[in-house]
Structures are given as structure tokens and as C-alpha cells.
């Protein structure tokens, strides 16, 4: 489901976002580290028209401005989201976040609980494995060169995510495209500022060296999430271990945890199990799926 493309200037830079329509309460979708907003076209048909679905390109991704100083921190993404919502005149929201987008969603919901109705965390790094984060960041760096074509990009993704072969060819191609752009030289590349990935590597290595007390900070923040929570955990995720999901359930007994079978970090959001979980969580029945 394609969204309508819009731009807004906030915090001195231009941000791009997609509006997938819908007339109900607003759902804001925050993408993963090397994705862009288009990836939520897979779930927009499920949520709209019951909800208005919006997905921004975070700084350094998609069509949003890059940061020439390499200021790519979760706290800055959080402030960007605050500024974007202020510009759009949006007060109350629900949030859906994949991996890094989940960190931002978690931070926003903990900081503004009175503004957040629901939160969906897609294999997001609450109690993340530092080694898993480091592996993901290292893998992403191997994709910074130009791809020969979409098939070349697809092969690169499948090396790390072989379970994507379970998708039909059309869905797989579409999903890969939500990570790519054609640059000014006509070359096909990941739609992300290389500086953002360098920062991710630095942060993941810092996490490996973090003390137990430092690692507890994200859990303290998570305890503030009193609104309904849906946690989608990939069965083979090395970023969010089983122990983290179990601890989340203990800390937030009201959270609904759904394990997405047969996939690793992070579910593509094309999985039928994901669609079923979203329908149940948002109270939607009889909604068409992304492929219908």
C-alpha cells in the first residue's frame, strides 16, 4: 500500500514522511536502522481506514536530510519525533517501532505516557544482546557499496536473513526495495547515511563494554510503559534473546508477547502471524492484508 509523500521542516532540517490515510486515531510507525518509511506499506492496509497511519523517514534515511556532523543518537531521533508531531499538530498517537524504531517508541512512550495509546515493539532492543547488536551493525556495514541491481541487493539480504526466502518473490522484492535508493550517480545503494552506520557500530561496541548498572537503564525506562504493549519477538532473534522477552513479561505483565516463528531479527511485517497479532491488538476485524 503506497503512502502519500510529504515533507516538513523541523529542528532545522527537512523530514520526509508517508501518510497512508485513514480517518481514525493516529498510528506513527518508526522504521529500523537501514529501512525507510515505505516498509510500513505492508501493514498500512490492516490499520487504515480504522486508523490514520503515518511513517517518517528518520534523519539520515530515505528522503529525510542527512546530518553532516553525524549526530545519530536515539535522543536526537526522539527529539525529531517530538518536533515532527508538533509541526503536524498531532497530540495523541499509537506507536509501532522496528528495532531502532522501537527504542525511539519506547523512549517517547515513557516520556509522554499521557500521549500514547498503544505501543508495538517489533523485535526491538529492550534488554538487547550487545553481541547481537554488534553483529547486525557489522553486517549492515558490508552493504555500503553499490549493488549491481535489485537481484544483487536481494542476495545480500538473504545471506544474513535466509528465512526471507519463505516470502513470495513479489513480496521479497518489495521488502528489499524498502531499504534502497538510487543515488545521484544512478547507483543502487542502501537508503542510509554511512555515518549513521558508523555511529551504530560505535554504540554497539560501547554496549558490549557497558556495566550491568548501565544495562539496567533501559529496563527502568520500560517500567514506565503502562499503556497496552504488543511485543513481536522473532523466534531466532540474536538481538532480543528469550530471556529478555521473559523479563519484559515479568516487568510488564499486561504486555502481549507474540513469537513470530521461523524468522530472525527482525520480522519483515509481511508475516501472516504479524498481521493476525496487529488485528487482535488494535481490535480490527475483516481488514484486507498487504497482498490482497
11: left (phi over 0), alpha (psi -120 to 50) or beta: left
Q: What is the pLDDT of residue 27?
A: 98
Q: Is pLDDT larger for residue 135 or for residue 64?
A: 64
ω before 266 within 30° of 0 (cis)? Answer: yes
- The domain containing residue 203 runs over which residues? 4-282
Q: What is the pLDDT of residue 209?
A: 64
Is 0.75 topped by the overall pTM?
yes
Q: What is the pLDDT of residue 267?
A: 97
**Domain assignment present for 188:** yes
| Band of pLDDT at residue 216, cut at 50, 70 and 90 | confident
pLDDT higher than 70, residue 289: no
Rounded average pLDDT over 214-241? 90
**Domain assignment present for 287:** no
**Domain assignment present for 292:** no
pLDDT higher than 90, residue 211: no
pLDDT higher than 70, residue 167: yes
Q: What is the pLDDT of residue 208?
A: 64
| Band of pLDDT at residue 125, cut at 50, 70 and 90 | low
> Which neighbouring-strand residues pair with 94?
27
Burial class (CB within 10 angstroms; exposed 0-12, middle 13-18, buried 19+) of 67 = middle
**Per-residue pLDDT tens digits for 73-88:** 999 999 999 999 999 9
pLDDT averaged over every residue in the chain: 92
pLDDT higher than 50, residue 251: yes
**Domain assignment present for 70:** yes
CATH number reported for the structural domain that contains residue 276 in this entry: 3.40.50.1820
pLDDT higher than 50, residue 58: yes
Q: What is the pLDDT of residue 212?
A: 73
Distance of alpha carbon 206 from alpha carbon 130, whole angstroms: 9
Q: Is pLDDT larger for residue 127 or for residue 219?
A: 219
**Domain assignment present for 243:** yes
**Domain assignment present for 76:** yes
**Domain assignment present for 58:** yes
**Domain assignment present for 126:** yes
Q: For the chain, how many structural domains are there in total? A: 1
Amino acid at each position: 500500500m503506497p503512502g502519500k509523500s510529504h515533507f516538513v521542516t523541523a529542528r532545522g532540517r527537512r523530514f520526509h514522511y508517508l501518510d497512508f490515510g485513514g480517518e481514525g486515531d493516529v498510528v506513527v510507525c518508526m522504521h529500523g536502522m537501514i529501512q525507510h518509511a515505505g516498509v510500513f506499506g505492508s501493514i498500512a492496509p490492516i490499520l487504515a481506514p480504522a486508523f490514520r497511519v503515518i511513517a517518517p523517514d528518520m534523519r539520515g534515511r530515505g528522503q529525510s536530510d542527512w546530518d553532516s556532523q553525524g549526530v545519530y543518537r536515539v535522543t536526537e531521533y526522539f527529539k525529531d519525533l517530538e518536533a515532527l508531531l508538533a509541526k503536524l499538530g498531532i497530540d495523541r498517537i499509537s506507536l509501532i517501532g522496528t528495532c531502532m524504531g522501537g527504542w525511539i517508541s519506547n523512549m517517547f512512550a515513557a516520556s509522554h505516557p499521557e500521549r500514547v495509546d498503544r505501543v508495538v515493539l517489533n523485535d526491538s532492543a529492550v534488554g538487547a544482546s550487545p553481541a547481537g547488536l554488534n553483529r547486525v551493525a557489522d553486517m549492515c556495514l558490508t552493504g555500503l557499496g553499490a549493488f549491481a541491481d535489485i537481484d544483487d541487493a536481494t542476495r545480500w539480504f538473504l545471506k544474513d536473513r535466509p528465512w526471507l526466502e519463505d516470502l513470495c518473490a513479489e513480496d521479497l522484492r518489495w521488502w528489499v526495495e524498502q531499504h534502497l535508493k538510487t543515488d545521484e550517480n544512478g547507483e543502487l545503494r542502501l537508503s542510509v547515511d554511512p555515518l549513521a552506520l558508523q555511529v551504530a557500530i560505535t554504540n554497539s561496541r560501547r554496549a558490549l563494554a557497558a556495566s550491568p548498572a548501565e544495562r539496567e537503564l533501559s529496563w527502568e525506562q520500560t517500567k514506565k510503559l503502562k499503556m497496552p504493549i504488543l511485543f513481536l519477538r522473532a523466534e531466532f532473534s540474536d538481538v532480543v534473546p528469550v530471556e529478555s522477552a521473559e523479563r519484559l513479561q515479568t516487568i510488564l505483565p499486561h504486555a502481549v508477547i507474540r513469537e513470530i516463528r521461523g524468522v530472525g531479527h527482525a520480522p519483515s511485517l509481511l508475516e501472516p502471524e504479524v498481521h493476525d497479532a496487529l488485528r487482535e491488538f488494535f481490535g480490527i476485524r475483516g481488514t484486507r492484508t498487504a497482498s490482497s
